[in-house]
């Protein structure tokens, strides 16, 4: 089973119109050799998606949102629906990022509803899971992530959904798990996805690793079995770094 690697940039709450230059530069550097090996998408703040649409399309890049509401529309001040993201030019949306889970109290049930909303709107959800440092130190990493997969992945999800394993303690800290720990977690995650979706589906689901990925460690992390790409935060803000991560596939 070959799964096309996906390298996704999560800009978080960073980026003004001037930052569109970085998306332009990413497209310029996304050459044929790289396109043949990996899919690249950028998830800028929602304010930039419609503005980035043509630039990203010219460069062969996809776009994603960073969150969506479960409802298609209505009285939800400040929220954005999956349909709105799609209309603006997104084809993906990140759901259940640990910053959403911690800053906004999102539960697995919320994340599952958002993932279902994404699918309803024709978007591919990138469903994030990951343990905290205390949970890893208590030996609970596998059980925590297993429960998050069980609770956050819609049971009828198609195999093009994406799951991102992002240990909370590795996000934005410069710390990363060992390659052995990543291998153990990704094999476990695939087994839990299989339990939820059935064998045919689970083998096609891409499981990304996220947490302090940068050009200098990308090759090691992305070559681990069952790692089908990366969700990249800080290193996705500058084209040079983001493309440097993706070049691990060349």
Q: Supply the residues annotated as catalytic.
A: 97, 166
Site residues for ligand PEP per CB under 6 A = 10, 166, 171-172, 210-213, 231-235
Q: How far is the CB of 87 from ligand PEP (least distance, A)?
A: 24
Q: Is 10 helix (H, G, I), strand (E, B) or coil?
A: strand
Shorter beta-carbon distance to ligand PEP: residue 27 or 233: 233
Quick one: 244 exposed, middle or buried, by C-beta within 10 A (0-12, 13-18, 19+)? middle
Sequence-distant (6+) residues with CB within 8 A of 107 are 101, 151
Shorter beta-carbon distance to ligand PEP: residue 27 or 210: 210
Q: How far is the CB of 195 from ligand PEP (least distance, A)?
A: 25
Q: How far is the CB of 200 from ligand PEP (least distance, A)?
A: 29
Nearest-10 Cα torsion for 80, 85, 87, 92: -160
Q: How far is the CB of 100 from ligand PEP (least distance, A)?
A: 10
Shorter beta-carbon distance to ligand PEP: residue 188 or 242: 242
Shorter beta-carbon distance to ligand PEP: residue 128 or 197: 128
* Residue least distant from ligand PEP (Cβ): 233
Query: Measured between alpha carbons, how far is residue 22 from residues 9, 26, 44, 211, 237 in Å?
Result: 12, 6, 11, 21, 7
* Integer Cα distance of 117 and 96 in angstroms: 13
């Amino acid at each position: 089973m070959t799964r096309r690697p996906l390298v996704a940039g999560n800009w978080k709450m960073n980026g003004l119109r001037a930052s569109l230059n970085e998306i332009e530069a990413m497209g310029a550097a996304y050459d044929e050799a790289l396109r043949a090996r990996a899919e690249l998408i950028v998830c800028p703040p929602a304010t930039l998606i419609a503005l980035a649409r043509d630039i990203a399309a010219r460069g062969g890049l996809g776009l994603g949102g960073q969150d969506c509401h479960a409802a298609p529309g209505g009285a939800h001040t400040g929220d954005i629906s999956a349909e709105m993201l799609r209309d603006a030019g997104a084809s993906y949306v990140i759901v259940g990022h640990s910053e959403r889970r911690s800053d906004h109290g999102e539960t697995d049930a919320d994340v599952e509803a958002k993932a279902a909303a994404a699918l309803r709107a024709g978007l591919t959800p990138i469903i994030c899971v990951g343990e905290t440092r205390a949970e890893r130190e208590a030996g609970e990493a596998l059980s925590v992530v297993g429960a998050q997969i069980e609770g956050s992945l819609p049971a009828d999800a198609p195999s093009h959904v994406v799951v991102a394993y992002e240990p909370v303690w590795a996000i934005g800290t410069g710390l990363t798990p060992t390659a052995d720990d990543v291998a153990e977690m990704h094999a476990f995650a695939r087994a839990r996805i299989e339990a939820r979706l059935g064998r045919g589906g689970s083998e096609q689901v891409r499981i990304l690793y996220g947490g302090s990925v940068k050009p200098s460690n990308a090759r090691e992390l992305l070559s681990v079995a069952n790692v089908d790409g990366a969700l990249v935060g800080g290193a996705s803000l500058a084209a040079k770094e983001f493309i440097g991560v993706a070049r691990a596939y060349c």
